[in-house]
Structure 1
Amino acid sequence: MSNPYEMREGFHVLTDTRSHEWCEAEFDAGRTTSRRWVVWDKIAATPQAKWVGPAPISAQIAPILGDAEEANTLPVFVSYAIPFRDAGGASSGGFRDVKSYQAWAKSFAQFIGESPAVVILEPDTLIHMPGLSTKQRRDRLACLTYAVQSFKHYAPNTYAYLDGGEGRYNSPASLAPWLAQAGIADARGFAVNVSNYNTTGVCQSFAVELCGILDLPDVGYVIDTSRNGNGPPPDSYIHANPTTWWGNPPGRKLGEKPQYTGGVNGFDATLWVKLPGESDGPYGVAPHSASSEFLPEVAYNLYYGR
């Protein structure tokens, strides 16, 4: 397997994010406010991941693969289409059955083909395992192992990362057996902190411990740093919002920008997996928003950490 990070010059900047589209609309309307410039310069112009859902794959990724090849940059995709996605939470959806998902995952890998890419496979799938039925667990593992094998076979220049938890509340010891059953031995590794707020240092410590338990050669990991600049909300906020604290909490901040970290001790890269400014659902500072809705004020405040 080739190292995709070393095949291209930096990460690809998407032009179809909601932050980018909002900035374009503001500019076209003549509204060149400080908020617009902050969102454009600090968020829309930063490489972010493309979330890919349960629809025909070519239309979702073909333009990005083409643009990335022309720019000699590395695209980052998030596969988010597994049946019973988000365990029926705010981001519920996905395919209705295992066979449909497997066919889609195969087409995803085949369409990427020889192109260098990074793919985060199904965030939240493994951290939800304890609360699922036996059949749901079996189906979920069947989807993940098939996807891992598909990328290994059809996309040799792609690094695929499984769900590695959020780096704080899911213990490495509890996640390691699920990662093993999901086929991590044939993937590049795992992703930590997707759509969460834990600091890079905390996530690194978590990931190093998890790598030690897995005891696999060359296992790597990436960390989502899109919103971890101030770390998680204070304990007082978490205790006051025990089931929804993760949804649009106040005072969060943009984290380190995406960069390839060289794979030292397995640490491959910091990535912006969750798109800053897009809602987690009707919670926190955006109680009337929908999941993935772009909120300009939230995006603006992420720059200042308020």
Structure 2
Amino acid sequence: MNVWRRLSGRRRAVALAGASALVAGGLVTLPVTAAHAATQCDVTYTTNDWQGGFTANVTIRNVGDALSNWTLGFTFPNANQRLVQGWSARWSQSGRNVTAQNESWNGNLATGASTNIGFNGSWSGSNPKPTSFTVNGVACNGGTPPTSTPPTSTPPTSTPPTSTPPTSTPPTSTPPTSPPPPGTRVDNPYLNAQGYVNPEWKAKAESVTGGSRVSNTPTAVWIDRIAAIEGTDNSQSNGPMGIRDHLDEALEQDADYIQFVIYNLPGRDCAALASNGELQADELPKYKAEYIDPIAAIQGDPKYRNIRIINVIEVDSLPNLVTNTSGNAGGTVMCDTVKANGAYVQGVGYALAQLGAFSNVYNYVDAAHHGWIGWDSNFTPTAQILKEAATASGSTVNHVHGFIVNTANYSATIEPYVKITDSVNGQSVRQSDWIDWNQYNDEQSFAQAFRQELVGQGFPSGIGMLIDTSRNGWGGSERPTAAGPTTSVNAYVEGGRVDRRIHPGNWCNQSGAGLGERPKAAPASGIDAYVWIKPPGESDGSSSEIPNNDGKGFDRMCDPTYTGNDRNGNSMSGALADAPISGAWFPAQFAELMANAYPPLS
């Protein structure tokens, strides 16, 4: 049995970020009598609750003299409330008492400044909110709470906390009948929503003749290294934009949603070379502190609370732990290492917990594609490893909004002329060389079936699936218009399949590919959207070795002269010639994708 893998990655040369985190949901602002003139503060404490667990987001606002360091203190009302894991501060708990000390990067709080921190917790019985807070040992009373209410001589009143935690309704598959308030979590973030158009990709697309036909299509922004978080785009520089730049631009565009790819795990892309990352397999602490935490700090900024931030989490990571470790064809030492040390499972769990704490953030975890995990031996084990990661590092399944398949790959969304249930002269098409006993032959049927498997593994029944259709159109003159001849199973499949790759294991800059379905919300049952996550025209990897400072390796699957390996049936790679390194602009490929688009471009 053959098992496949693939991938690309988008990189930018930019510089590191540090910032403060968010706050969302219902709030409690707590005024108390001041105990010291120099230190005055307001604390806002909000939670997102589920049975047995919760995420708390805390805003500390300094309304006294400037601070160079701070320590927050509060007491849980319930003895069964526990701190599990926190971020943007050094958290600890003793009995019911909880403290959070500033990190080195957020200790300075000028008068009027705020910082945002948070933690994941557990509870039993009830989850009431704390009733008082201190900063540096002084009870917080502040002055004006973080609202537009003008100051008065009488402290503002607040609704006292209740002993019953707020309930959270699980997402359903039925879209709302009227638009929800901005910032409210919805079942399908793509429905009736305008997507963000990345101006950097738009300019590249329009530099190629005919590119203006698709240049206003929403595509994802790949955050594939620490330096990409902040970027260098400013008034003195015309360098790559960072996360905050893109979010600010999304506000200018009045976009409803923006898409990011979170892609920088330790030992990333353990079964290939073209998309190797900057972090070594043992650098999980650095991944958390210098990559995920700063991203969470920016995405959690209340300034962006009305934008639906959609994160695609760690492409091609977790399925590698099923198919490309020891005992599998093509197993690698690096995949064995990251499986043994937990870098992938714990890293993905941490990303989900930190980013999923915000009500306007939607996490979709990468789930490979049918030509990789469509066989019985890979299907359920992959769902199980996804569940393991979703409940690691303080995460729960509620931090996962859905899953995505076919990211940056070429598998057809629907095969109209070759159905997996077809047979020829009494022989199942599964016996053909192309399908090779796989249970699926296109992405949509695979995504729908895999969704049901994930629900069976314990994910909420309302999870949705995404399909990346950016390069799987397979149009042009080579596209079949009817089923193949019935002389044999192979003739039938070869003549009728619209995916015209040499082999379904080929993943790099595929010759003959075309743009697929344009982004569309709710196209089929269980599918939240067709999306363009891989920006068309960005290379999957160089066709020959190119020295670079981005850590991009050379993978022979990107070499058009390569005759293959066990994982692609020893077939030619099918890759285009003269390709640049992974993530670099490849105008010849973009022109070909437009020429072969299906549906065709007008």
With the length of structure 2 as denominator, give the TM-score of the two structures: 0.45
Q: What's the counterpart of residue 51 of structure 2?
A: none
More helix by percentage: 1
Residue deviations 1:121-141, cap 9 Å, x none? 110002211324554121110
CA distance in 1, matches of 2:354, 2:298: 11
Q: 1:86 maps to which residue?
A: 269
Letter in 2 for 1:144: V
More strand by share: 2
Q: C-alpha deviations, 1:241-272, integer Å up to 9, x for none?
A: x6xx211121111011112227x643111111
Alignment match, 1:9: 193
Contact preservation (8 Å) 1:7, 1:116? no
Is 1:177 the counterpart of 2:384? The answer is yes
| Bigger Cα Rg | 2
Distance 1:7 1:251, change over 3 A: closer
Task: Name the structure 1 match of 2:219.
Answer: 48
What is the alpha-carbon distance in structure 2 between the residues aligned to residue 128 and residue 86 of structure 1? 8
After TM superposition, give the deviation of residue 288 of structure 1 in Å.
Answer: 4.8
**Given the superposition, is the C-alpha separation of residues 150 and 7 from structure 1 closer, same or farther in structure 2, using an over 3 Å criterion?**
farther
Aligned counterparts of 1:152 and 1:275: Cα–Cα separation in 2: 24
Task: Tell whether the 8 Å contact from 2:352 to 2:400 is kept in structure 1 after alignment.
Answer: yes
| Match in the other structure for 2:68 | none
Q: What secondary structure is seen at the aligned counterpart in 2 of 1:182?
A: helix
Where does residue 519 of structure 2 map in the other structure?
258
> 1:147 — aligned with what?
351
Shift of 1:205: 1.1
* Structure 2 residue runs without a partner (length 5+): 1-183, 232-241, 326-334, 391-395, 415-441, 475-497, 544-557, 559-574, 598-602
What do residues 33-91 of structure 1 show as CA deviations (whole Å, max 9, x unaligned)?
A: xxx3312322x322110000222524321111111122221111001111111115201
Distance in 2, matches of 1:51 and 1:212, equals: 29
Paired residue for 1:276? 536
Structure 1 residues 208 and 22: alpha-carbon distance in aligned structure 2, compared to 1, 3 A threshold? closer
1:111 to 278, 284, 298: 298
CA contact (8 A) 2:579 2:586 kept: no
Quote the residue 2:370 is aligned against.
167
TM-aligned CA distance change 1:9 to 1:105, over 3 Å: same
Q: In structure 2, the residue corresponding to 1:75 is in which secondary structure?
A: strand
1:75 aligns with 2:258: yes
Q: Any stretches of 5+ residues in structure 1 without a counterpart?
A: 27-35
- Which residue of 446, 466, 487 corresponds with 1:222? 466
- Code of the residue aligned with 1:93 in structure 2: it is G
Q: Is the 8 A contact 1:222 1:270 kept in 2?
A: yes
Following superposition, the deviation at residue 200 of structure 1 comes to: 1.8
Amino acid at match of 2:401: R
CA separation in 2, counterparts of 1:233 and 1:110? 44
Report the aligned-residue RMSD. 2.3
2:115 corresponds to which residue?
Answer: none
Q: Structure 1 residue 151: deviation in Å?
A: 1.4
Count of residues in correspondence between the two structures: 285
Q: 8 Å contact 2:262–2:311 — kept in the other structure?
A: yes
Task: Evaluate the alpha carbon distance shift between residue 51 and residue 6 of structure 1 in structure 2; reply closer, same or farther with a 3 A threshold.
Answer: closer
1:194 lines up with 2:407 in the alignment: yes
Please say which of residues 124-133 and 144-153 is displaced more in the overlay. 124-133
Indicate the residue corresponding to 1:205 in structure 2.
445
